[in-house]
Amino acid sequence: LPFEPHVAIGVLSVALALSFFLLVRLGQVHWERLKLQLHHDALTDLPNRSGLEEELAKILPAALAKNQTLALMFISLDGFRQVNDLYGHRAGDAFLKQIAVRIRVRLKRGDLLARVGGDEFAVVLRDAETQEAVAASILEAVRGCSNLCSHHIAITASVGVSLFPEHGKDALTLLRLADLAMRHSKENAGDRCTPWEAGMTATDFRTGEIVAMIRSALDDSRLHVVYQPVIDREGRIAEMEALVRIHDFLLGSIPPDEFMDVAEQTGLIHELGAWIFRAVCGQAKVWNRAGYRGSVTVNVSPAQLEASDFAAQVLGYLEEAAVPPSSLVIEITEKGMLREPARVGATLRELRDAGVRISLDDFGAEHATLSHLGEFPVDSIKVHGSWTVRLPGDAQARQMVSEAVGNAHRRGYKAIVEGIEESTQLQEARDMGFDLFQGYFVAPPLEAEDATQVLACDTNPLVGMVQAGKQER
């Protein structure tokens, strides 16, 4: 074929134009996809935080022009982490999707729903007047979701609300204030909605800080267990009570009184409790193999006891570590027993039938009688340290404590005394007939390695202590 320059140029130009068009189009598609990824949450198919901010940038000026009041709700799930931890991330993802759908159906057409964090959602209501009803409906929707994964994980929502334009005129301010208000809901045990109020600041959110501390301790293995020996009348170690601590780089070792209430209120106790049981059963296995024939004692909070499969969980931890149930004592408080007596009674019976022993901790802190315990399966009572400090001088304390020992023995329970700080208290408690003794005078809570050394001592130093206490008197 003869070479025709004008045809070649024509073909080349068409090819160039086509490539250019294709490149632009590809770029556009790529940009659209990128934008979608940037503003969109793939899991729930909702706008993410920046998507919400972008939407608000359009909605807010329009609402201002129309003199319209909007409500922004910040929703955070309480106790969601357990779903992930107990059932895996896939179950967690499925749960979040369900939550998103359930919240969506409670909203009106023009309202906006976004997922702004792991377990955090935000809602923009076009009609601020409906906020109370919508919040109640969302709380109910989330509560109803607890059954999706497991009946024992109590998932609730903490909601905070800020109003446009009254509280803030831009997306960031509205989100921040609703988030602060949400933290107040969390502070008050969750499952509630709190409207933002002037004066709500970030400074009084100790609960939020504690929650963050527990969570990060669980993540970075900064939780640890110390063990306090409990000795029998001969001075031999009969039990090692496990007491949990959080190690903080700045604050040092943080005792449970500082974080247990918050763990209970927020449902974190389930995760924390599971961690503790695993750690203690692992330690019991090591000690059992080394020839220790005593028990390990684990404190259990009321919320843990109320989980319908608590007994199965505990027996599972024991089996995992190949530790016989007879090596475990669980300590519960009267509060733990009496909040849901029927359910808790059944759980305790199941555990006890398997060989686990049940001890009633802090006896005398609230009630000083055993009669209201009825048929609860109990093996021992532990008299609260607030009575022990009054021994031996205080006549009223002596009477109360010795009656407690008598009543316990009549019912076939062992009597344990905690908080022994002086030799005279140890003597008095021995004379009153207590079976087991615990307190700083006997031994402080020990790091696991130190506890192992004490257990390994041929001549147990604690035996000597009992003897010394005896001679001093």
Which residues make beta-bridge pairs with 114? 122
Helical spans, DSSP H, in 197-340? 206-219, 260-266, 268-289, 302-306, 310-320, 334-338
Q: Binding of ligand C2E at residue 465 (CB under 6 A)?
A: no
Q: Which does 445 bind (CB under 5 to 8 A by kind): ligand C2E, Mg ion, none?
A: ligand C2E
User: Residue 123 class from Cβ within 10 Å (0-12 exposed, 13-18 middle, 19+ buried)?
Assistant: buried
Least Cα distance to 68 among 133, 138, 124, 137 occurs for 124
Q: Select 79 or 385, whichever has its Cβ closest to ligand C2E.
A: 385
Q: Which of 187, 232, 362, 428 binds ligand C2E (CB under 6 A)?
A: 362
DSSP string across 302-354: HHHHHSTTHHHHHHHHHHHTT--GGGEEEEE-HHHHHSSHHHHHHHHHHHHHH
Q: Which CB, 85 or 258, lies closer to ligand C2E?
A: 258
Q: At what angle do helices 423-431 and 461-472 cross, to 10 degrees?
A: 80
**Contact residue for Mg ion among 361, 378, 436, 443 (CB under 5 A):** 361
**336: contact with ligand C2E by CB under 6 A:** no
Give the one entry of Mg ion, ligand C2E, none that residue 461 binds, where binding means its C-beta sits below a cut-off of 5 to 8 angstroms depending on kind: none
Closest to Mg ion by CB, 51 vs 336, is 336
Q: Which of 235, 419, 460, 466 touches ligand C2E (CB under 6 A)? A: 419
Separation between Cα atoms, residue 357 and residue 348, nearest integer Å: 9
Residue 447 within binding range of ligand C2E, rule CB under 6 A? no
Per CB under 6 A, the segment of 112-120, 215-223, 238-246, 398-406 that binds ligand C2E is 238-246
Applying the rule CB under 6 A, the residues between 373 and 412 that interact with ligand C2E are: 385
Task: Point out which span in 15-23, 112-120, 157-165, 362-370 binds Mg ion (CB under 5 A).
Answer: 362-370
Site membership for ligand C2E, residue 257 (CB under 6 A): yes
- Centre a 10 Å sphere on the Cβ of residue 453 and count the other Cβ atoms it contains: 12
Output the CA–CA distances (angstroms, integers) from residue 22 to 12, 13, 27, 29, in the order listed.
15, 14, 8, 10
Coil, strand or helix at 55: helix
- Judged by CB under 6 A, the residue of 44, 156, 299, 327 near ligand C2E is 299
Which of residues 243, 246, 321, 455 is near ligand C2E by CB under 6 A?
243
Q: Segment near ligand C2E (CB under 6 A), from 120-128, 192-200, 246-254, 255-263?
A: 255-263
Find all residues with CB under 8 Å of 267, minimum gap 6, and list them.
78, 79, 82, 153, 154, 155, 156, 190, 303
Q: Write down the least CB distance from residue 298 to ligand C2E, Å.
A: 6
Closest CB to ligand C2E among 179 and 361?
361
Exactly one of 120, 271, 334, 362 binds Mg ion (CB under 5 A); that residue is 362
Question: From the list ligand C2E, Mg ion, none, which binds 260 (C-beta under 5 to 8 Å, kind-based)?
Answer: ligand C2E
Work out whether 331 is an interface residue with Mg ion (CB under 5 A).
Answer: yes
Q: How far is CA 313 from CA 72, 147, 227, 309, 337, in A?
A: 40, 18, 22, 6, 18
* Residue span 393-422 as binding mask against Mg ion, x where in contact by CB under 5 A, dash where not: -------------------------x----
To 5 degrees, how large is the angle CA 208–CA 211–CA 212? 85
Q: Of residues 44, 299, 327, 425, which one binds Mg ion by CB under 5 A?
A: 299
Q: Which stretch binds ligand C2E (CB under 6 A): 58-66, 145-153, 250-258, 464-472?
A: 250-258
Closer by beta carbon to Mg ion, 163 or else 260: 260
Helices marked H in 220-267:
260-266
Contacts of 30 (CB under 8 A, 6+ apart): none
| Residues at the contact surface with Mg ion, assessed by CB under 5 A | 299, 331, 361-362, 418
